[in-house]
Structure 1
Amino acid sequence: MSIALDRRTRLDSDLRTLGMAEFLAGDFPDLVVRHGALVARGVEAFGAPPLAIETADGSWSFAADGGTLAVSPGVAPGALVVTLDGDALSDWLQNQRSFNAMITARELRYRGGGEWDVSVWDSLWLTLLEGWPVVDDGIEFLDRHGAPLDLGRVLTPDDDPAEVAHFLREAGFLHLRGWLDPADMRKVSDEIDRALPDYHEGDGRSWWATVAGGTRRCVRLQEFVERSPTTAAILNGARWDQLRRMLAGDDELVRKTGARGLEALIKPRDVVAGASDVSFHRDCHFGRHAYQCSGTVVGIAVTASGEANGQLRVVAGSHRVLMPVEIAKTRPYLPVVAVPTEPGDLTVHLSCTLHESTPPLLAERRVMYTGFSLAPREPAAGGSQALSDLRERVSRLLLEQGSRP
């Protein structure tokens, strides 16, 4: 297999309060030896400016120099300057929170550059910490026998499980058909309609969006499995466990359980504010890639999807090459693959694969999301909960902002 799902290199139990001076004296020299050339290559590929980190204790600038990454005191000319307090700095140095998380929370202060520069340095810094390259001219998509992989292939339960597991690891996503009965999706859609009156804005269990004309629509229903006997039967069935084992391959995956282990989404037309159709992002883009990736996110197509009513699109191989999110939105350098679905189809993407939801043009669509996580290595930690809380705030922040992300 091309890449193991388990890419975790850090433990929450090893976290400490970390300042820049301690980081530069302790962690930085070894990281530069191992990954500095990868960062420098990315700086050159993107034409990234120096990055200056400004704190109450001083400022330091990071820039490519002699084919590696170098640091110098002060603010370098032309640098993107990011100001961090002690907690934010410690989180950033240890991949607990990214610049993107701080921007989303309206907490990041920066000058001397724009969102593109911030996005590029989010990727470059993770390259330094984890050795995840931002560019790889030799990347290929090959099947288990070395032949070119058909990125548009739809796989079924009759396909070799080893082939399905390999496809996921090679491309970072899957399109599956034949696992669920399409007739069940009509039942699920009816159960969504019956559940909707139980949700209201501010209940902590739903997201809302504004559509043209000013109407508010519920677009995300958590705890839906408790209101959907059809969905509960699917998740507790033998076929679903067969899917888990197939995706796991040589890794160990566990099903997401509990009331919030699945959510139902409604994608209406003409959304003008709120979190409904989100442009390219990674599920680990707020941080914690090194603590929890890669999980598998499974989408269950309740209605069909396509250009007319929106669909999932993925950047194939973006779990292997750390393409900055802002570049994925404007000039991606890996294949962008649309995944049109029929009712009952499944989509699978890794938590560190770039993906987006395109907006419906003619009719709304409905989809459910759940997934399988890597088996835990230690008890759940506060950092994971903090990012979950931030995700819950996203809808309110975007409604306040008055535009779709």
Structure 2
Amino acid sequence: MAAAGFADLDFAGFHRDDLPQRLASGNGAIAARALARRGSLAFRVGGEAWTYRPAGQGVNVVAGDEAADTVIELDREAWQGLVHDYESAPGLLYARRVRCVRGDAMAFVLWEPALRALYSGRPVYDAAEPLLDDAGRALDASRVFSDGDDVDAMARFLRSAGYLFVRGLFAEGEVAAFLRGAEAMRRAAVKGDRVSWWAKNAAGEEVLCRVTRAKDHPALATLYGEARLRRIVERAEPGLVPRQGEGNGVTVIFKNPGVAEGLSDLPWHRDCGMGGHAVMCPVVIASLYLTPANPDTGELAFLPGSHRRACGYMDATAEPPRAVHFDARPGDVSLHYGDVMHAAPPPRAAAGPWRISAVTGYARPDARPHGGARSYNDVLHQREDGQIEHLTRVAERAV
């Protein structure tokens, strides 16, 4: 049965009748752009299987999985969720709802941009494509705005690039109060409480990566629906409201160097990468930098225009063409669509201080986490020690 609000699909009928029509309408050619050097992928549902095979400028869909390089077994509900952009490859892997019968489960993840193209015709990201604003003019992807700049111009840039960087939006005294709150939340965090993330460094020491209940602190609570942030968001996406998201609506992120275990250094991803795009987006996330954020201390990088395209998995240290980096100072803010590809690579410096930032978000009033969970990230919490495992390790177990 399909999730509420989505059409119920027959596995064999979809592949025999519906998908060939979508391929012929141009979806196959779009998908082929994401499949260079990719092997074939098969889905097996209830004893039936269909294989997607790259074929030059298109994709062939054939019954069976005998010749498929990678075979993914899943139930009909999970497969329908993929078609409807309600489920995602990483989300299904973390939730242990798929089994890799043959090949490599990460191949399933790497196929995801092509699946989005096959099923819905979403264009594949191309770094050579001109980057334009909503008026058709060339966009300066590295533009930095300042407090006092025209809010409509900020909103236009956010819609076009998928992110926005604003210098000095919060004053020094405000930042100091937020930073004291962040340190208080750090001291109160408990491993395994499901509202904090933990990791281990190369020395085997456990380190705190984030606290998702930061609204419990009075100073940090003021960031939830904060007027300066909300004004920009409402100009870009009228109707979005402060969202609780993971935890209670405000999260504090603590970067650490040399993390060897756990998900501290986030790979290039979308915030709906665990699933739920169809029922939660658009989402806008605001990050207030409480300490400097740069390659040495732990930055946040963005891929301009990627919120309107299908993009593939890349590790945190990858440097894709056009990636944009900002040298953030305390009081600066970045806003980004949940759909834009962004990454949090490891700090380069061995000595701190490293980045501390406070994060809050905005979503549609009717947005909901998929799967009935409290948050789209709930599926990540699978260990009693609070450590969030890297996707590649999760994929290794999907057998």
**Shift, 1:19, TM fit:** 4.1
In structure 2, the residue matched to 1:266 is: 254
Whether the aligned pair in 2 keeps the contact of 1:172 and 1:316 (CA below 8 Å) is yes
Among residues 309, 326, 329, which one is paired with 1:339 in the alignment? 326
Partner AA of 2:252 in structure 1: A
**Shift, 1:316, TM fit:** 1.6
Among residues 176, 182, 195, which one is paired with 2:172 in the alignment? 182
Structure 2 counterparts to residues 117-266 of structure 1, below 5 A:
117-136=107-126, 139-143=129-133, 146-227=136-217, 229-248=218-237, 251-257=238-244, 260-266=248-254
**Shift, 1:264, TM fit:** 0.8
Whether the aligned pair in 1 keeps the contact of 2:131 and 2:138 (CA below 8 Å) is yes
Whether the aligned pair in 1 keeps the contact of 2:85 and 2:278 (CA below 8 Å) is yes
**Shift, 1:124, TM fit:** 0.9
Whether the aligned pair in 2 keeps the contact of 1:54 and 1:82 (CA below 8 Å) is yes
Whether the aligned pair in 1 keeps the contact of 2:220 and 2:250 (CA below 8 Å) is no
Among residues 293, 300, 320, which one is paired with 2:281 in the alignment? 293
Distance 2:225 2:27 in 1: 47
Among residues 74, 84, 92, which one is paired with 2:74 in the alignment? 84
Unaligned ranges ≥5, structure 1: 1-10
Residues 147-175 of structure 1 show CA distances to partners (whole Å, capped at 9, x for unaligned) of 43222211124323232122112211111
Among residues 90, 94, 107, which one is paired with 1:104 in the alignment? 94
Q: Secondary structure at the match of 2:200?
A: strand
Residues 244-289 of structure 1 show CA distances to partners (whole Å, capped at 9, x for unaligned) of 32332xx421112486111111112222222211121111222222
Distance 1:220 1:399 in 2: 15
In structure 1, the residue matched to 2:263 is: 275
Unaligned ranges ≥5, structure 2: none
Partner AA of 1:336 in structure 2: A
Distance 1:57 1:244 in 2: 47
Aligned residues: CA RMSD:
3.2
Residues 41-85 of structure 1 show CA distances to partners (whole Å, capped at 9, x for unaligned) of 325x51332222223322211234585444221126353222223
Distance 1:289 1:172 in 2: 16
**What is the identity percentage for the equivalent residue pairs of Structure 1 and Structure 2?**
25
**Shift, 1:26, TM fit:** 6.1
TM-score normalised to structure 1 length: 0.83
**Shift, 1:327, TM fit:** 8.2
Distance 2:277 2:125 in 1: 18
Whether the aligned pair in 2 keeps the contact of 1:19 and 1:89 (CA below 8 Å) is no
**Shift, 1:27, TM fit:** 4.2
Q: How many residues align?
A: 388
> Would the alpha carbon gap of residues 401 and 208 (structure 1) be closer, same or farther in structure 2, given more than 3 Å must change?
farther
Partner AA of 2:254 in structure 1: I
Residues 298-356 of structure 1 show CA distances to partners (whole Å, capped at 9, x for unaligned) of 11101111121110011222223312113896573x41111221001111121111111
Q: Secondary structure at the match of 1:322?
A: coil
Whether the aligned pair in 2 keeps the contact of 1:256 and 1:262 (CA below 8 Å) is no
Moved more, 231-240 or 125-134: 231-240
Distance 2:297 2:56 in 1: 50
